[in-house]
Structure 1
Amino acid sequence: MDTSTTPGLHALFEAQRLAFARDSFPGRAIRLDRLARLRLLVTANEDAIAEAISADFGQRSRHETAIAETVMVLGAISHARKHLGRWMKTR
């Protein structure tokens, strides 16, 4: 097992933990902004994602990756944006 990236991963996880502690319950506007940025990241990096998945799975078709990964993620983002207000309501 290659452990050369382990310290970097620990630092990344610690940064994520601290970020969550600072802002555990972001408001609707922040969440919508994050979903919009995620959509941009996915669409801007669609080719890189397809290449990485193809390398992992041994020449997986770009069309299969687009359907199985990109379209599904973008659909989930749209679903989250649509239902976010209701999901955030206090019970």
Structure 2
Amino acid sequence: MDIPLTTIAHWYNHGRYLLVFVFGYLFAQQPRWWRFVIARRAVFLSLAIGCYALIVADRNGAFDGLDAGVAGHPGHALAGRQCGGT
């Protein structure tokens, strides 16, 4: 049996999505949480639309000017090294 290296090398992502799956399953089993979400569904819808709008704006370059201000911050260089970026 030949197991692809990417399956083993991406253990972090597999673990993270397993945790999200378990959380979703447990959330779906709680009637009290469902009542809370249903009672505030307009708030959650507004938050979801707002977050989606920010993602779309970011993907289309709306926040490119923010990178210039961050580039001089000392934590920016440190974060780039930690994440493997340049």
Q: TM-score, normalised by structure 1?
A: 0.40
Greater relative contact order structure (CA < 8 Å, 6+ sep) = 1
- Greater Rg over alpha carbons, structure: 2
Question: When the two structures are superposed, what TM-score results if normalisation uses the length of structure 2?
Answer: 0.42
